[in-house]
Copies of this chain bind each other. A is one copy, B any other.
Amino acid sequence: MSNVKGKGHCQSCQIRHLSIFAQLPTVRLVEIQAFQPSVVIYAPDETVYHQGDPAANAYTLRKGLVKLTKTLPNGRTQIVRVLRTGDLFGFDGFASEPYNHTATPLSEIEVCRLPLGELMELKKQNPEIENTMMRRWIQHLRQAEDMMLELGAKKASERLASFLIRWCEGTGGSWVVLPLSRGEIGELLGLTIETVSRFLSDWKRQGFLNEQRGSIQIQSVDGLRKVACASGNC
């Protein structure tokens, strides 16, 4: 089961600069003594919340990675987003809606549980928070639009290649952790395990990339980019 580690201490929080409280002057934090979110640990076999649950809390990811998924009654699953440290999630309650997806850890994670009511109050009183959240929603929306383009207009190899490029962006050919199984990559890109596996094997053979226990390394961005843009796109 999930495990409450203790109360959070925003003032000394290591990842505050990544959170929605980044822009908030530290002085203000001192004033907000009433706000003491819980830090909670989840194992990969648990879920933080389920699609359809009443959205009583929002969360900030402190450690690890989280996948947000939607599942059809027949079991087909789509990953709609992968979260990283500092990301806010589970905020459907702000629109008086239940959670629209399920949040599952990809490894052991640590989150900050923010009760909806308190967070709303805090947001109301601090325009910096308001502003940061707004910018993030817009960014999410933009990413969602990008993803729709991927899913609707690109073919398998293009989707996979541009996903890998995006995942390793800015790392200049060094090793990057990719804690997603073949199946999960498939669920993210609307492909089957086999298709993902085939292309990856292919590209490893061609020397475009390297893989070792959950980490990958792009050896030829150009090679991948050529695949991603096979039909003349980018």
CB within 8 Å of B: which residues of A?
A: 68, 70, 72-74, 76-78, 80-81, 91-92, 94-97, 100-101, 124, 127, 130, 133-135, 137-142, 144-149, 151-154, 187-190, 229, 231-234
Cβ contacts under 8 Å, A229 to chain B = 73
Smallest distance from the beta carbon of A5 to chain B beta carbons, Å? 28
Smallest distance from the beta carbon of A184 to chain B beta carbons, Å? 13
Query: Once the chains are docked, how many angstroms separate the CA of A76 from the CA of B100?
Result: 29
Cβ contacts under 8 Å, A138 to chain B = 91-92, 94-95, 97, 137
Contact A142 B76 (CB under 8 A): no
Closest to A70 in B: B149
Query: Once the chains are docked, how many angstroms separate the CA of A147 from the CA of B134?
Result: 22
Contact B141 A144 (CB under 8 A): yes
* Partner among B81, B100, B149 whose Cβ is within 8 Å of the Cβ of A72: B149
Between-chain CB contacts (< 8 Å), 11 pairs: A70-B148, A70-B149, A72-B149, A77-B153, A91-B138, A95-B135, A97-B138, A134-B134, A137-B137, A141-B144, A152-B190
Cβ contacts under 8 Å, A130 to chain B = 130
Query: Once the chains are docked, how many angstroms separate the CA of A149 from the CA of B78?
Result: 6
Query: Once the chains are docked, how many angstroms separate the CA of A7 from the CA of B91?
Result: 37
Contact A153 B78 (CB under 8 A): yes
Contact A144 B146 (CB under 8 A): no
